[in-house]
Structure formats: C-alpha cells, structure tokens
Amino acid sequence: MKNKIFLLFFLGIFLIGIASAATYCCEKTTGSNPAYCQNVNDKTQCDSNFKSISSFCETSSFCQSGTCINQQEGTCISSTQTACESNNGFWSSKKKSELPQCQLGCCLKGDSASFVTQIACTKQASDGTATTFQSNVNTELSCLAMANPQTQGACVYTKDYVKTCELITKKDCQDKAKTSTLSGVEFHDGFLCSAQELGTVCGKSQKTICDDKGNVRFVDTCGNLANIYDSSKIVDENYWTKIQTPTCTPSNNLGNKDSKSCGACDYYSGSMCKDKKTGDAVDSGDFLCKNLDCTDYRGPYGEGVATPTNLATASNYPKHGETWCATSSKIGNANSTEDINSPGATYFKLTCYNGEVNTPEECDSTRGKICSETADKTSGFKTANCRKNVWEDCWSQTKQTDCEDISLRDCSWKNSGGYSFTENGLTNTDASGICVPKYAPGFERTNDKVDPNNDVVKSCGAAKAVCHVKMEKAIGGDWKCAPDKSGIFGLGSFKNNCSCLDSNWKTQMNNICTSLGDCGEKTNYFGVKGYAFDFVTTQTISS
C-alpha cells in the first residue's frame, strides 16, 4: 500500500514539472532572432508589443494557422496572421487547398510553360512579359506539352481512314486534336510531312513555291512546304525528313541572285522569290531568287554627284536599296563643281528598288538643299539624302581651317591672288585665300525678276571687284599701263595695278563670283552660255 502512494506522489510531481515548463504562448518572442507563436516557460521572453497568454499556442486564438499569400514572392504557405502580415503578405484563415490563386495550373510565358500556382505565374510577369494562366490544365506533363506553341513540325492525323499530315505549328496541331472528325492527332516537332518514318501519304516532289518570307521552297505531294529549294538534294532522303537550314548559298552570290540551283533568297542582299520568266534558267520548279538590282539602268550613277558623263555600266550598276545623287545639269563634267552648280541646276536623289530606278526626288530647285552621298568602304553600297546647304557664312571666314570645317558649313577655300571680301567688295589685301560656297546657291528657274534682298543676290554682290589702273599714251602711240616707279629714298614712288589688265585676273575674279551663286560668266544647266563681262577701266593721261 505504501508503494502505491509513493508512485502516485512521484507521478504528480512529474506532471507538475511538465506543466510549469511551457506556461506561456508568445505571439512574438524577443531577442535577435525572434519567433512567432512560440511556447516559452518565462513570460519575459515574450515581446511586450505583441500578445501573450498563459497557455499553449495551439489553444490560442491569435496563433491560429491559415494561408499567407505573398505577391512579391509568388508563394502560398501555411502561416499565422501576424507572421504573414509582418512579411507584407495577405493572410486568409482558409486552407491553401481552398484558395483558387494557390492551386496549380499551367503558366504560359512566351514559348515556355511551367506547372505552378496562379500567384507564382503572376510573379513571372513582373519583368514585363505577358503570362497566361490556364487552371484547367491539371498535370505537369500536359502543361509542358504546351511549351513552344509556335514551333513548326509535322501534325499527323487520320481522316477518312487515311493517315495524312500538315506542316503547321504545335498550337494549330493541338487545336486540330479537338476536332471530332480527326483521330490519332500527333505533333512531331521539327519533322517534315514527307518523313518516311511518319508513314503518311505525303512524299517527295520536284515542285517549288514562294513562301511568305520570299524564299523558294520545295513542296511535298500533299502541298505542304518542305525545305529551301536545293537542286542537289531533290532526292536526298535526309533533306526530306527534318526542317533544315539551307547550305547551298555560295560566298560570291549572297542572296542567290538568279541562281538556278538554290532558293535561299535574301531581300536585303537584293533577291526575292519570283516566277521564272523567259530566259531564266532553273534546274527544277518554276521559281527562282530574282535579282532585284537595277542591272539594265544606264543613267547617272557613280561617286559624288553623278552627271551625264558618269553613267552606270553593265558591270557597275545600282544595287537594290541603293540611293545616290544626280544633277539636272546637261553640260556634264564630273570634276567641275561649277558645271554641277550651273544656273538652274538641281540636285536629285535616285533610288533603285525591286529592279527599277524610281522617279528622282528633287532636293531643292534653288540648291538650298543639296544631295549628300556616302559609300560603304567595303561593299561600295551607296546611301544618299537631301540635306540643307549651309553656305550663308562662307564669305565671312578668313581662315582655311574654319572655312573647311564640314561640321559647321559647306565651303571651299580658293586661291584668290591676294583678294578678300570687304565692305567695298573684292579688295586686294594680300590675303592667303578666300572662302566660297562649295555648292553655289541659285535662283528659282521661273523667276523673271529677283528680289534685291534675296540672300543669293547679296552673296553675288560680295564678288564685286574694282581695280584702278593708271594708263598712259605716248605721242602717236597706243594706251598702255603706266610702269611702276621708285623715287629716291622711296619718295615719289608709284605702284600701278598692271596685272589687272591680264586675262588671268578676270578669270580669277569670275571663278570667285560663280562660286557665290547664279552670277558671273556661267553656262546654265541647258548648256547655254551667259553674257560675258568687259573690263571697266579708268584711263588717265600722264602729264
């Protein structure tokens, strides 16, 4: 009897010890690594800013477990409300299985697919890529089968007891599987319908067709597209089994222009699939990569501004997509800017497109805009555009480096024989040279009268030159330029401008004048010469 009493007494002490070991439930504990809903035996271990109770956490209302939905993490996890909200989550008292956004489904993003929850699918769209969540897909294998929906391959199916095939996308094939009139629908990624291992009624053929990318393609006996046309592989079993990248393009004919054996066309290289015409040679089929270059063009074409003497040839013609410059001048001298900028001449931009030279684009009939052309250093491919002619401040430049700064202006530096621009026109100031427009501006062709305030008129006016020459006449003789004289100690010395009577002076001044606009002695764009100017001299009879 004593032993029983002692045993009961001992068990009572043991149970009291267990109860005193976990007296409190802390909603949040203190310390450097706090925990939520933690059972402790000392109330001081509970954070005073949160709830606590003298009981086990399993029985407390504030430690009730639910589901925490975290949008930022894309997760659904079991959690208490306090722990969830402290981590910026949305808490629900429902179980994870009761929340639609926490159920697994198929998340489609681009060409990829993943079997995840809707909340995780939404997280994948955070990079800006659109996603689609399909909750009706309930297995991972079904979901992964939906990846790469736009990949092409052979869609094999049975219709009217015949096993046939179509070369379509995976998505289109999956849609066909929903059609009740078809059976045994299977998609074979990367295969052609003519592949023997698929066992369909579709086979090889020698027919070709133009695809939507401008290439020449084989077609099988069912009318499906096959690989790019390559006459060396018409009966090649491997070439008719899987979709392949063509290897028939030679290095010396990019785009396979007018090739009889290869259908890998390239629009940017100057070719496109077209019907075979009379004179075109093709090994098989009725289509080829037609050359889009302007091979028959023989108009202005060449470096710089093309003129009638700088024409396209049978070996040097405009390429598809090329643009280049030309002028309406009929006098034609590729090395003479004075001819190119003749009165009435206009700059044009020409374009070769799909084998034809388009109607010229006029830059500006007054040459306020000029055509600027560049050529690729490797291929020589030309690109031109109409741009503003920046000529207005040329004659105010006094240094060659400033004059020829192409980032600021379109000007040229000329030898002027010492003359420079002053308020009185061209004056001999012993200048090293003179700055004039590289592309002389002009007047409207239809103008009978020109506004004196026109900028081109003012520019021409800056080229006025007066040279005073003292003449003398001997008794019974002709007028001649008075010679220079030097007095004793320099006194009474006299220097005359006899060089102004030389025809070179007239030519030099006229070259400056013609550079400033439609002025000076010029030949217009029709080839008609303007009026010549005579010297105006002051004759002084010596005493």
Show contacts of 52-57: CB within 8 Å, 24+ apart. 52/24, 52/25, 52/26, 52/27, 53/24, 53/25, 54/23, 54/24, 54/25, 55/24, 55/25, 56/22, 56/25, 57/25, 57/26
Say if 333 falls within a structural domain: no
Q: Identify whether residues 456 and 522 lie together within a single domain.
A: yes
Q: Identify whether residues 85 and 114 lie together within a single domain.
A: no
The residue from 248, 275, 291 where one domain ends is 291
Q: Identify whether residues 122 and 215 lie together within a single domain.
A: no
Q: Identify whether residues 412 and 539 lie together within a single domain.
A: yes
pLDDT tens column, 359-413: 999 998 888 999 999 999 998 999 999 999 999 999 889 999 999 999 999 999 9
pLDDT over threshold 50, residue 22: yes
Residue 370: how many other CB atoms lie within 10 Å: 24
d(CA 82, CA 79): 8
Determine the average pLDDT of the residues in 459-472: 81
Q: Identify whether residues 166 and 124 lie together within a single domain.
A: no
Say if 232 falls within a structural domain: yes
d(CA 102, CA 97): 7
| Confidence class for position 11, pLDDT limits 50, 70, 90 | very low
Say if 132 falls within a structural domain: yes
Residues facing 327 on adjacent strands: 347
Three-class DSSP category at 479: strand
pLDDT of amino acid 317: 94
Say if 335 falls within a structural domain: no
Say if 341 falls within a structural domain: no
Q: Identify whether residues 197 and 237 lie together within a single domain.
A: yes
Structure-model confidence comparison of residues 503 and 105, the more confident one: 105
Say if 268 falls within a structural domain: yes
pLDDT over threshold 70, residue 480: yes
Q: Choose among 52, 59, 63, 64: nearest CA to 25.
A: 52
pLDDT tens column, 100-155: 889 999 998 887 888 999 989 888 888 888 888 988 888 888 888 888 888 999 99
pLDDT tens column, 509-540: 888 888 888 888 887 777 777 766 555 444 44
Q: Identify whether residues 130 and 157 lie together within a single domain.
A: no
pLDDT over threshold 50, residue 420: yes
Structural domains in the chain (count): 4
Average the pLDDT over each of 36-50, 247-261, 370-384, 520-534 and give the range with the smallest value: 520-534
pLDDT over threshold 50, residue 205: yes
Say if 311 falls within a structural domain: no
Q: Identify whether residues 78 and 112 lie together within a single domain.
A: no
Encoding tokens for residue 116? 């995840």
DSSP letter for 284, please: S
Handedness of CA 89, 92, 94, 98 (dihedral sign): negative
pLDDT tens column, 339-360: 677 888 888 999 999 999 999 9
Determine the average pLDDT of the residues in 39-46: 88
d(CA 418, CA 402): 18
| Confidence class for position 21, pLDDT limits 50, 70, 90 | low
pTM of the model: 0.64
pLDDT of amino acid 5: 47
As a whole-number percent, the residues of the chain with pLDDT over 90 amount to 40
Q: Identify whether residues 48 and 161 lie together within a single domain.
A: no
Residues facing 465 on adjacent strands: 426
Average the pLDDT over each of 14-23, 278-287, 497-506 and give the range with the smallest value: 14-23
Q: Identify whether residues 408 and 543 lie together within a single domain.
A: yes
pLDDT over threshold 50, residue 542: no
| Confidence class for position 65, pLDDT limits 50, 70, 90 | confident
Q: Choose among 283, 168, 262, 263: nearest CA to 213.
A: 263
User: What DSSP line would sit under 79-148, residue for residue?
Assistant: EEHHHHHHTT-EEESS-GGG-GGGSEEEEEETTEEEEEEHHHHHHHGGGS--EEEETT--SHHHHHTTSS
As a whole-number percent, the residues of the chain with pLDDT over 70 amount to 89
Residues facing 480 on adjacent strands: 472
Structure-model confidence comparison of residues 266 and 429, the more confident one: 266
Three-class SS of 29-92: ECCCCCCEEEEECCHHHECCCCCEECCCHHHCCCCCEEEEEECCCCEEEEEEHHHHHHCCCEEE
Say if 351 falls within a structural domain: no
What range does the domain containing 527 cover?
Answer: 404-543
The residue from 291, 318, 339 where one domain ends is 291
Q: Identify whether residues 84 and 183 lie together within a single domain.
A: no
The residue from 233, 260, 291 where one domain ends is 291
Residue type, 467: C
Q: Identify whether residues 445 and 466 lie together within a single domain.
A: yes
Question: First vs last Cα of the chain: how many Å apart?
Answer: 172
pLDDT of amino acid 449: 62
